[in-house]
Structure 1
Amino acid sequence: MRLGQTSIVYLVSKVVGSLLGFVATVYFARLLGEEVLGYYSITLALVAWLAIAGKIGITGAIVKRVSEGEERASYITAGGLMMGGVFVVIALATLAFRGAIDRYVGAPVAVFVVLLVFAELLRSFAFSSLQGHHLVHVYALLATVKMGLRSLAQIGLVVAGWALSGMLVGYAAGAIVVGIASLWILGFRPAMPRREHFGRLVEFAKFSWLGNMRAKTFDSVDIIVLGFFVPAGLVGIYSVVWSITQFLNIFGSAISTTLFPEISKEAAEDNSRAVSNLVENALAYAGLLLIPGLIGGGLLGDRLLLIYGEGFVEGTSVLVILVAALLAYTYTMQLLNTLGAVDRPDLAFRANAVFIVSNLLLNFALVPTVGWVGAAVATFLSATVGLSLSFRYARTLVDFAVPYAEIGRQWIAAAAMGGVVYAARGVGETYWIADYNAPFVVSLVGVGAGAYICVLLVISTRFRTTVTDNLPFDVPVVGG
């Protein structure tokens, strides 16, 4: 399967999964309100941080060592044993401090935290094994299945009256089922690891663990900090805004997930030109959805959030700031991905450390003084710092050219899209939209997406070539 097609499979799978999650979140927002979503989001953020301790870089090390193609089963077994041992410690500590955890969240969730950490570690272990085998497209499809199972289980349990408990149990159920299915599809059979297998995993993990922390810092540290300073209702609104921005990051995530094992393989074979080409392609397309998403968020953010309920419209300004932060972060992610793939996790460690410290300090400085918008500003500023440092390190190792022209074309196409959407919204609000917000938003998004793609196909030879090279059929108009 060609890399472009692998990325497309990943992208389509993530889009479907995100749409399922979007429908479920709208349902929960309307049925349970902002406060319960706040409790749910704080719990998941806490689980994310505890799961980092369970992974301690092991999942990234599994992908790296397994992708190198030698003694794969032994490396997977060694990684699983290491993660299992750490989980036992986390579970005991969580139960020992269950009172403090329940007070922080505002609801009795400690037992669910243990279940969720187990589910997350199992899923991460299984998915990293698939990625190491270059089965990114299979992993992506299973991630969509996970989202579907999770949403169905959550909705069923909430309807049955379980409320917050149902959302948490449903979340864990989807991850556990898909984790087991992943290992079954892989045909994994444990192999007795030797000391050297543990040693080589630790050698990579001792630097790469901070990459996991960097990702979770970006995803959830603001939720953790907000949990100390603002009401659960505002945390719920913020989490909904964040989930919307994550949809726009799907393509950037698809690129980094797909290219890591490929860059790793080419680097192991000392094919520097192939590594450079892969990095340049990653940078060229990382912002493909986020650039128009930033403009679209400014134009449609209020109406998009209105779908969740009137109270959520308060998060419109936060939405724009977070999309801008995510745009900077997704480029950072491609560069840090490169550092890990060329076996320089030490440099990625340094960049991640600066990003994490700046994010934490800015959040604790801005949230108490500025309010919940300060969390979004802190995320944007720290992402910018991370981008600058990761770019500096990556350029010392890989001779790549930043595709400024291609990125500029994406901005031109996004600006044209913005004009179309602005005009369409004005006409629609004048003549039709008063009581039909959801279909109106969907229509505007469709019109905007169509305009963006059409303009980009016209002005970008690189984009046209990429599309035609990876379609399973010929499109003469596009190819011409």
Structure 2
Amino acid sequence: MRIGQTSIVVFLSKLTSSALGFLGTIYFARVLGAEVLGLYALVIALVGWLKLGGSMGVGTAVTKRVSEGDEQGAYVAAGVLSTLAIGGLVSVLLLLGRGYLADYVGEFDAYVAVSVVWFVLALLAIKLFYKLVLAVLEGERKVHLAGLLAPVRIGVATLVQIGLVIAGFSLAGLLVGYGVGGVLIGVLGLLYVSTSLERPRKRHFRSLYEYAKYAWLGGLKSRSFNDVDILVLGAFVPTALVGVYAVAWSIAKFLDLFGTAVSDTLFPEISRATADGEDATASQLVEDSLAYGGLIVVPGLVGGLLVGDRLLAIYGPEFVQGTAVLGLLLVATLLYGYQKQLLTALNAVDRPDLAFRINLAFITVNAVLNVVLVWQIGWRGAAIATALSAGIGLVLAYAALTDVLAFRTPIREIGRQWVSAGLMGGGVWLVLELVETAEVGNLVAVPAVVAFGAGLYFTTLLGISGQFRRTVQRNLPLLSSR
């Protein structure tokens, strides 16, 4: 399997899905406003956290055990039964605490007649279903197929959401559309799963547990990075500001798509290499992940600082107040992206215990800083807290991985990306000056400037980085066939 080509397939799939979601969010922001988007973000964040409690790391454990190639059917069956049991328990607890949930999402009743608890329960079940299916596909080393399902989910969800919003269903339409997309890719994913279920034994459940008891905190860490600030803001600031913050977050996370594709692709490969005793191969894969983990985020950070206000203005005038937050979240995304590559490697070399400790430290710092800084300085404190905790997690992850696996940090390659991004920034600044003079509208100016900046960045990087040129030549079919 060509890892580079697989990463590109996964990245393009994520890029397509995020582009569809990006366009949909612009439409919803203009039609529904920041408050409805804020409520939607809160509900989806809650579902994400409950999904984590409803799986307890089982999905990650299934991917790991299935990727090892032994008794795959028994491990998948054990994963299904474990998810049903834990998810059922979480659902019961959610029903018992439905009054507290309704109070937290207080404005929900103003837009939807049905209680928020029923939406959360339905979306939780759907998410547990399709996430487990994708976990099995990734364990079968069909990462590219799992990645290709992402744009299907987002595309279908966005189309259904737009149709329902046009029909007047507002917030309920957004939530129903999200659920429809999840059901569809879960069903489609099952068609590509080749593992047949086998009767699991006690040792299969124990093996999943031994890995999941550490790995689940990795999912908690991801949720902490993505959503803890949203949940904290929901308790401290008006819902409209939560909506503005969520839009800024969506832009920042859009830039981490390639880094996520790299980590998703390399996890089963590093896992297989270490299982076969090929430590040198595993080390090289880690070096590649660090070399290309920030390939998109580095220029995205530079460009975002230059055009962030214009980009947010596309969503509507009320979203421009999130410009400073966007800059901070871009920094957080870059730091977290490198941290994610290192933690993926730790889990893949079967050291989830170390990843567990790092994730626990990250989650604790992130949660405490979010509460303290939002309380003290307002909603921008959430972005500061997220960036600081990402930096601390990166340092801890790097120290841990260097103790268990020998690898070199590709400082020169990362430096070339920064040089290319700096030159791109100069070019973008000059173009923005021309745009200001010509008084071009944001809907035309922003895409044009972004396209120009991307072209300049990659052209420069191709010119100064022999490693990047060779990587492109190996993984682009038209070039590799020559």
Q: TM-score, normalised by structure 1?
A: 0.98
Q: Give the match for residue 3 of structure 2.
A: 3
Q: What is the alpha-carbon distance in structure 2 between the residues aligned to residue 42 and residue 360 of structure 1?
A: 16
- Give 1:412's match in structure 2, choosing from 409, 412, 419: 419
- 1:13 aligns with 13
What is residue 53 of structure 2 aligned with on the other side?
A: 53
Which deviates the most, 95-104 or 49-58?
A: 95-104
Secondary structure (helix, strand or coil) at the match of 1:473 reads helix
Structure 2 match to 1:68: 68
> What's 1:168 paired with?
175
Query: Are 1:253 and 2:260 an aligned pair?
Result: yes
Contact 2:54–2:88 under 8 Å retained in 1? no
| Residue in structure 1 matching 2:291, options 271, 278, 284 | 284
Cα distance per residue 1:48-84 (max 9 Å; x no partner):
1111111101111001000000111111110011011
Look up the match of 2:111.
Answer: none
The Cα offsets for residues 27-64 of structure 1, whole Å up to 9 and x where unpaired, read as 11001000000100011111111111111011110010
Q: CA deviation at 1:371?
A: 0.5
What is the match of residue 159 of structure 1? Answer: 166
State how far apart, in whole Å, the 2-side matches of 1:32 and 1:224 are.
21
Which position in structure 2 is the counterpart of 1:445? 450
Q: Quick one: distance in 2 between partners of 1:474 and 1:345?
A: 39
Aligned partner of 2:239 in structure 1 is: 232
Post-superposition shift, 1:98? 1.6
> Structure 1 unaligned runs (5+)?
none
Secondary structure of the structure 1 residue equivalent to 2:277: coil
Aligned equivalents of 1:27, 1:65: Cα separation in 2:
42
Q: Which residue of 1 is the match for residue 467 of structure 2?
A: 462
- Distance in 2 between residues matched to 1:467 and 1:222, nearest whole Å: 37
CA drift at 1:432: 4.0
Q: Which amino acid aligns with 1:352?
A: N
CA separation in 1, counterparts of 2:307 and 2:49? 32
Deviations 1:459-480 (A, max 9, x none): 000100000110111289xx9x
Secondary structure of 1:474's aligned partner: helix
Match of 2:403 among 390, 396, 409: 396
Deviations 1:335-389 (A, max 9, x none): 1001100001000000000000000010011001110000000000000110010
Q: Partners in 2 of 1:277 and 1:189 — Cα distance?
A: 33
The corresponding residue for 1:43 is: 43
Change (3 A) 1:345 1:218: same
Residue 96 of structure 1, CA deviation: 2.0
**Structure 2 equivalent of residue 80 of structure 1:** 80
Alpha-carbon distance in 1 for matches of 2:307, 2:423: 15
CA distance, structure 1, for counterparts of residue 181 and residue 90 of structure 2? 21
Residues 325 and 380 of structure 2 are in contact (CA less than 8 Å); yes or no, is this contact kept in structure 1? yes
- Give the Cα–Cα distance (whole angstroms) in 1 for the partners of residues 168 and 100 of structure 2: 26
Corresponding residue for residue 135 of structure 1: 142
Unaligned segments of structure 2, at least 5 residues: 109-114
Q: Is the 8 Å Cα contact of residues 342 and 397 (structure 2) preserved in structure 1?
A: yes
- Taking only aligned residues, the RMSD between alpha carbons, in angstroms, comes to 1.1
CA distance in 1, matches of 2:208, 2:116: 33
TM superposition shift of 1:104 = 0.4
Deviation at 1:328, TM superposition (A): 0.5
How far apart in 2 are the matches of 1:448 and 1:170? Answer: 34
Q: Does 1:471 align with 2:465?
A: no
Local SS of the residue matching 2:33: helix
One-letter code of the match for 1:20? L
Write the distance in 1 (CA, Å) between the matches of 2:61 and 2:355.
13
State which drifts further: 75-84 or 98-107. Answer: 98-107
Trace 1:419-430 onto structure 2 (pairs within 5 A): 419-430=426-437
SS where residue 196 of structure 2 aligns?
coil
**Residue-by-residue CA offset, 1:186-237 (whole Å, 9 max, x unaligned):** 1453211111111100010011110010000000000000000000000000
- After superposition, the C-alpha distances for 1:109-165 in whole angstroms (9 at most, x for unaligned) are 111000111111111100000000000000000111111111111111111111111
AA aligned to 2:458 is: I
Q: Which position in structure 2 is the counterpart of 1:369?
A: 376
Counterparts of 2:277 and 2:480, CA distance in 1: 36
Q: Which residue is equivalent to 2:95?
A: 95
Q: Aligned partners of 1:188 and 1:177: how far apart in 2?
A: 20
For 2:172 and 2:334, locate their aligned partners in 1 and report how far apart those are by CA, in whole Å: 34
Runs of 4+ residues over 6 Å off in structure 1:
none
Task: Give the Cα separation in 2 of the matches to 1:134 and 1:267.
Answer: 15
User: Is it true that 1:307 corresponds to 2:307 in the alignment?
Assistant: no
CA distance in 2 between partners of 1:416 and 1:304 (Å): 21
Q: Paired residue for 1:297? A: 304
Q: CA deviation at 1:430?
A: 0.2
Give the corresponding residue for 2:327: 320
Q: Which amino acid aligns with 1:86?
A: I
AA aligned to 1:143 is A
Matches of 2:80 and 2:187, distance apart in 1: 13
Cα distance in structure 2, aligned partners of 1:292 and 1:169? 36
Instruction: Say which SS state the counterpart of residue 407 (structure 2) adopts.
Output: coil
Identity among equivalent positions (%) equals 48
CA distance in 2, matches of 1:231, 1:423: 38
Write the distance in 2 (CA, Å) between the matches of 1:62 and 1:11. 23
Candidates 244, 261, 272, aligned match of 2:279: 272
Cα distance in structure 2, aligned partners of 1:114 and 1:46: 10
- Higher mean C-alpha deviation, range 445-454 or range 104-113: 104-113
* Cα deviation, residue 443, structure 1: 0.1
Which of 210, 220, 224 is residue 217 of structure 2 equivalent to? 210
Paired with 1:474 and 1:259, the residues of 2 have a C-alpha distance of 23
| One-letter amino acid of the structure 1 residue matched with residue 436 of structure 2 | E
Distance 1:264 1:127 in 2: 17
The DSSP-based 3-state class of the residue aligned with 1:70 is coil
- Per the alignment, residue 149 of structure 1 pairs with 156
